[in-house]
């Protein structure tokens, strides 16, 4: 060790003649050299600063005294645990005990006090005691919870998603959901009366919209870190309904971005919004397709709402026309699509099923709990997998999704597990190809509490025009 210090001292003498250069070289040395006390070089009985005659305020690279074969510092910059300070600096200059400079270990490497690394969603700092001190946030991907779900007999399996890894549970709830609970007035909206005839309204054990209406049910999109499920679920249900109702003459995938950027009245864009507001906008203003107005997930600022780049004007009889070209300049189809007023279904699963089978997918509000983010496949039910952990590991937020079908699975004991098939908006690599199944008939996560249907606004003229467009494009 002495040899090493000697080398350092020789280097100091050799490098640079001018004062400026000397300061620079000292400064460099000071930042790169390991602290003198690491490895036991400290001389506990020296009175270096005292002999020097004082302690310098701030950082002063000339505030040094010879120390063993090198120099040590007596400036206030030493009031950190990184330095090559004189051993009596703390006692003489500050009147305190010298700190212990810790080294922490990780993967066989040494780290000094103050250095950090990220462990999943938590920042870990090397503490003065030589131990890593980590934040204690609940993460979105908790290995313990994934394991507990997969070991338990919950009827569904969990996975570790790389796109969620490193986020905290609070961030997941803040950025991946984004539907506000409807107001009391909206929640009190009348349910439509459905007179079901038990004979003629026989419902099959399994039903999937994608099989009844091939090519008309749109694939799940990915909202990214933008809390706009209000716009995604509304646009998805409206897209499917227009495609079904027009018998495939139009199969638009409506633009969530159009809603996020333009339906801004009492809406929060990527910071959450209301589905009743989204339906109002679809009815009164209308939106273009996803190809025309593509989705741009926010990169740095999740709450940012892009400028609205599409407006419509009335052309009579309640119809509207775009006043701008598509934001995507390669697309010329800026047709505006509108809906009729939405209607609320009862919470009875049979009525919801009949509605889906007759008219297509519906929109539902649901409460998303911590374990839903790790869902991989099976029939989801909220579990107690996080109940052995502190309370911050349990949290939930409101989301909205699109229910497209149902089914049941037989258990070994002859009973059956009934489920809904629903599309989420977390991309196709989440869940069962972007879809999930969830327990049906027991209001799991409140999924049967507030269910909405709507019609597309389609006239015979639309059918003809779109058909015409379609043909002309292919000539
Ligand atoms: C030394 O550092 C500690 C912790 O950062 C601070 O609380 C204290 O005020 C500092 N002392 C002086 C004299 O600057
Ligand atoms: C989960 O995924 C992340 C990133 O893809 C990876 O770094 C981590 O080790 C994985 N955790 C487990 C428990 O598999």
Among protein residues, the one with the nearest Cα to ligand 2's atom 5 is 162
Whole-angstrom CA distances from 185 to 182, 188, 234, 344, 450 are 8, 5, 19, 13, 13
The pLDDT value given to residue 277: 96
Alpha helices by DSSP H, listed for 320-474, are 349-359, 460-474
> Which listed residue (218, 249, 399, 466) is catalytic?
399
Between CA 127 and CA 133 the distance in angstroms is 6
DSSP character for 182? Answer: P
The pLDDT of 245-265, averaged and rounded, is 95
- Residue 5 is predicted with a pLDDT of 37
Query: Can you say how many angstroms the Cα of residue 467 is from the centroid of all Cα atoms in its chain?
Result: 40
Angle at 352 between CA 346 and CA 355, to 5 degrees: 115
Is the model more confident about 297 or about 6?
A: 297
How far is residue 472's CA from residue 356's CA, in Å, rounded to a whole number?
33
Nearest CA to ligand 2 atom 4: 162
Return the SS3 of 438: strand
Residue 396: active-site member: no
Whether the pLDDT of residue 2 is over 90: the answer is no
Q: What is the pLDDT of residues 181-237, one digit of tens each?
A: 998 888 888 888 888 877 777 899 999 999 999 999 999 999 999 999 999 999 999
How far is it, in rounded angstroms, from Cα 24 to Cα 208? 72
**pLDDT score of 343:** 95
Say if residue 471's pLDDT is above 70.
no
Helix (H), strand (E), coil (C) string for 185-213: HHHCCCECCCCCCCCCCCCCCCEEHHHHC
Between CA 113 and CA 130 the distance in angstroms is: 7
CA 393 to centroid of ligand 2, rounded, Å: 18
| Residue (of 106, 402, 431) closest to 239 by Cα position | 402
- Nearest-atom index, ligand 1, CA of 80: 2
- Nearest bound ligand to CA 145? 2
Determine the Cα–Cα distance for residues 356 and 405; give it in Å rounded to an integer. Answer: 7
Q: 132 C-alpha to center of ligand 1: Å?
A: 22
> What is the distance between the alpha carbons of residues 392 and 386, in angstroms, rounded to a whole number?
10
Domains and CATH numbers, the chain: 2-94 (no CATH), 103-134 (no CATH), 145-453 (3.90.70.10)
Please compute Rg for the chain using Cα positions. Answer: 32
Q: Which atom of ligand 1 is nearest to the CA of 93?
A: 13
Is residue 7 scored above 80 in pLDDT?
no
Record the pTM: 0.77
Query: Closest ligand to 119 CA?
Result: 2
Predicted confidence (pLDDT) per residue in 68-115, tens digit: 777 888 998 887 755 578 878 888 999 887 766 667 888 888 787 777
Query: How far apart are alpha carbons 464 and 475 in whole angstroms?
Result: 17
Residue-wise pLDDT tens digits, 284-315: 999 999 999 999 887 644 445 578 999 999 99
* Range in 147-151, 187-191, 239-243, 415-419 with the lowest mean pLDDT: 187-191
What is residue 298's predicted lDDT score, i.e. its pLDDT?
77
| 31 vs 225, residue with greater confidence | 225
Place of tokens 């740095």: 300
| Catalytic-role residue among 424, 443, 468, 470 | 424
Q: What average pLDDT does the segment 159-180 reach?
A: 97
pLDDT of residue 12 exceeding 50? no
**Model pLDDT, residue 323:** 94
Which stretch of 138-147, 251-260, 293-302, 447-456 has the lowest confidence by average pLDDT? 293-302
Q: What is the pLDDT of residue 101?
A: 65
Expressed in angstroms and rounded, the spacing between residue 124 Cα and the centre of ligand 2 is 17
* Catalytic-residue membership of 464: no
CB of 318 closer than 6 angstroms to any ligand 2 atom: no
- pLDDT interval class at 474 (50, 70, 90): very low
Q: Which atom of ligand 1 is nearest to the CA of 76?
A: 14
Residue 124, H or E segment: strand 122-126
- The answer on pLDDT for 32 being more than 60 is no
Contact by Cβ (8 Å): 261, 308: yes
Q: Which two tokens stand for residue 156?
A: 């569904």
Average of per-residue pLDDT values in the chain: 85
- The DSSP result for 301-345, as a single string, is -TT--PPP---EEE-STT-EEESS--SSTT------B-BPPPEEE
Mean pLDDT calculated for residue range 432-451: 98
Coil, helix or strand for 363? strand
User: How far is the C-alpha of 114 from the C-alpha of 106, rounded, in Å?
Assistant: 14
Give the Å distance between the CA of 57 and the centre of ligand 1: 12
Calpha distance 128→102 (Å, rounded): 5
Query: 36 falls in which pLDDT band (50, 70, 90)?
Result: low
| 182 token code pair | 């409807």
Does residue 423 register a pLDDT over 60? yes
Q: What is the mean pLDDT of residues 356-373?
A: 98
- In order of 245, 248, 249, 252, 459, the CA distances from 463 in angstroms are 10, 9, 6, 13, 7
Which is the closest atom of ligand 1 to the Cα of 79? 1
Question: 2-14 and 19-32 are packed helices; what angle lies between their axes, rounded to 10 degrees?
Answer: 150
Dihedral pair phi/psi, residue 337, rounded to 5°: -110, 140
In whole angstroms, what separates CA 292 from the centre of its chain? 25
What percentage of the chain exceeds 90 in pLDDT?
A: 61
Closest residue by CA, ligand 2 atom 1: 160
What was the pLDDT predicted at 98? 72
The answer, yes or no, to whether any atom of ligand 2 lies below 6 A from the CB of 144, is no
For the cut 70, the answer to whether the pLDDT of residue 13 exceeds it is no
Selected residue with higher pLDDT from 366 and 462: 366
């Amino acid at each position: 060790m002495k040899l090493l210090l000697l080398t350092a001292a020789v280097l100091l003498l050799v490098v640079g003649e001018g004062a400026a250069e000397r300061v620079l070289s000292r400064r460099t040395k000071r930042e790169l050299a390991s602290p003198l006390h690491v490895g036991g070089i400290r001389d506990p009985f020296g009175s270096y600063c005292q002999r020097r005659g004082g302690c310098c305020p701030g950082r002063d690279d000339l505030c040094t005294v010879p120390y063993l074969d090198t120099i040590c510092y007596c400036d206030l910059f030493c009031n950190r645990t990184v330095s090559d300070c004189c051993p009596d600096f703390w006692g003489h200059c500050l009147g305190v005990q010298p700190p212990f400079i810790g080294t922490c270990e990780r993967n066989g490497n040494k780290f000094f006090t103050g250095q950090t690394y990220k462990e999943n969603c938590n920042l870990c700092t090397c503490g003065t005691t030589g131990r890593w001190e980590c934040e204690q946030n609940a993460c979105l991907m908790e290995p313990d919870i994934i394991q507990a779900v997969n070991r338990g007999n919950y009827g569904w399996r969990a996975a570790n998603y790389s796109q969620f890894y490193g986020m905290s549970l609070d961030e997941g709830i803040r950025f991946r959901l984004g539907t506000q609970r409807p107001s009391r007035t909206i929640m009190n909206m009348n349910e439509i009366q459905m007179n079901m005839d038990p004979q003629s309204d026989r419902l099959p054990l399994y039903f999937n919209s994608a099989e009844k209406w091939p090519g008309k049910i749109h694939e799940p999109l990915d909202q990214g870190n933008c809390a706009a499920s209000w716009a995604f679920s509304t646009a998805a249900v409206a897209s499917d309904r227009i495609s079904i109702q027009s018998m495939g003459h139009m199969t638009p995938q409506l633009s969530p971005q159009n809603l996020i950027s333009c339906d801004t009245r009492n809406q929060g864009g990527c910071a959450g919004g209301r589905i009743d507001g989204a339906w109002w906008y679809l009815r009164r203003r209308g939106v273009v397709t996803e190809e025309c107005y593509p989705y741009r997930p926010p990169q740095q600022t999740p709450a940012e709402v892009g400028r609205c780049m599409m407006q419509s004007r009335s052309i009579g009889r309640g119809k509207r026309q775009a006043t701008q070209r598509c934001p995507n300049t390669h697309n010329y189809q800026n047709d505006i699509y509108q809906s009729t007023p939405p209607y609320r279904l009862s919470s009875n699963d049979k009525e919801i099923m009949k509605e889906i089978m007759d008219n297509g997918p519906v929109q539902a509000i649901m409460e998303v709990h911590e374990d839903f983010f790790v869902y991989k496949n099976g029939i989801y039910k909220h579990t107690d997998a996080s109940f052995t952990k502190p309370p911050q590991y349990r949290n939930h937020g409101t989301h909205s999704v699109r229910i497209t079908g149902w089914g049941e699975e037989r258990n070994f004991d002859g009973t059956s597990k009934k489920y809904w098939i629903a599309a989420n908006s977390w991309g196709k690599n989440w869940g069962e190809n972007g879809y999930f199944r969830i327990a049906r008939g027991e209001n799991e996560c409140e999924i049967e509490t507030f269910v909405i249907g709507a019609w597309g606004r389609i006239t015979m003229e639309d059918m003809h025009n779109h058909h015409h467009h379609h043909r002309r494009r292919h000539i």
